[in-house]
Amino acid sequence: MTEVLSVSGLSVFYGTSAQAVENVSFAVGDGQVVTLLGANGAGKTSIMKAIAGLIPSRGEILFGGEPISALPARERVKRGIIYVPEGREIVANMSVRENLVLGGYHLAARDRRTRTEMVLDLFPEIANKADRAAWRLSGGEQQMLAIGRGLMAAPKLLLLDEPSLGLAPMLVRRVFDRLAAIRRESDLAIVLVEQNLAMSMRICDELHFLRGGRIIGHRTAADLKDNAARQEAIDAYLGAASAA
């Protein structure tokens, strides 16, 4: 398996003293889904932002074998690193289709049309509402639009920050089913940030557990196939609050 992303000794500081991420290392292979799990404040978003180039960091980040730490965020986007932030930052008063077009702004017009159709095929819920203003979508549909907009950019690596946040369990399942389909149909690599172990288990290959800015444990999806092993990992790394 080819390594798409390799993070070694990553540290993130806010200001001069507050350290949000401490010496974090992990890798993501071609077509692999790797989940970062941890409670609020564990450092998950900071890691994603550091990979996307949105905040400064120390350590080494390799993408496709090349160091990217010195590259600005827009150059990382051009190379295929797309960050879908938590909170679905879609443009509320633009239509679904316009939001998608925005995600593929750097593509040639023909590719943009093809990809728009591909994304709408993947998310029939929003395809029916393509000309509707984004603010009129439900929470789950807005999340689908945010992911769809990320896919418009033809990513090689999708950084997906808490796609389940604030969604009803049924909608979370729908969003994750679509992610599973994307995973089956393409060799897109994904780093997924989640607090929900059960949901991330639906699609991921490997999990890293974070606490206080550090990776405190690692499991493969195969390690966590049975309920007892999952419960053991929850007890060891996440605590009862994350068992849902």
Ligand X SMILES: Nc1ncnc2c1ncn2[C@@H]1O[C@H](COP(=O)(O)OP(=O)(O)OP(=O)(O)O)[C@@H](O)[C@H]1O
CB of 55 or CB of 100, closer to ligand X: 55
Helix ranges (DSSP H) in the chain: 44-52, 73-79, 96-103, 109-122, 124-127, 139-152, 169-185, 197-201, 227-233
Of the candidates 7, 24, 42, 191, which one interacts with ligand X according to CB under 6 A? 42
User: What single DSSP character describes residue 85?
Assistant: -
Tell which positions 44-73 bind ligand X, by CB under 6 A.
Answer: 44-46
Residue 43 engages ligand X in binding (rule: CB under 6 A): yes
Of the candidates 14, 136, 220, 236, which one interacts with ligand X according to CB under 6 A? 14
Rounded CA-CA distance 123/112 in Å is 16
Indicate the SS3 state at residue 106: coil
Of the candidates 9, 41, 72, 239, which one interacts with ligand X according to CB under 6 A? 41
- Tell me what percent of the chain is helix, strand and coil, each rounded to the nearest 5: 40, 25, 30
Rounded CA-CA distance 34/206 in Å is 5
Min separation Cβ 114 and ligand X, Å = 34
Min separation Cβ 78 and ligand X, Å = 25
Residue 85 engages ligand X in binding (rule: CB under 6 A): no
Min separation Cβ 47 and ligand X, Å = 7
Tokens representing 177 are 């089913």
* Residues 91, 135 contacting (CB under 8 angstroms): no
Min separation Cβ 69 and ligand X, Å = 18
* Residues 21, 11 contacting (CB under 8 angstroms): yes
Only segment of 13-21, 66-74, 110-118, 149-157 that touches ligand X (CB under 6 A): 13-21
CB of 39 or CB of 221, closer to ligand X: 39
Residue 18 engages ligand X in binding (rule: CB under 6 A): yes
Min separation Cβ 194 and ligand X, Å = 9
Residues that bind ligand X (CB under 6 A): 14, 18, 20, 38, 40-46
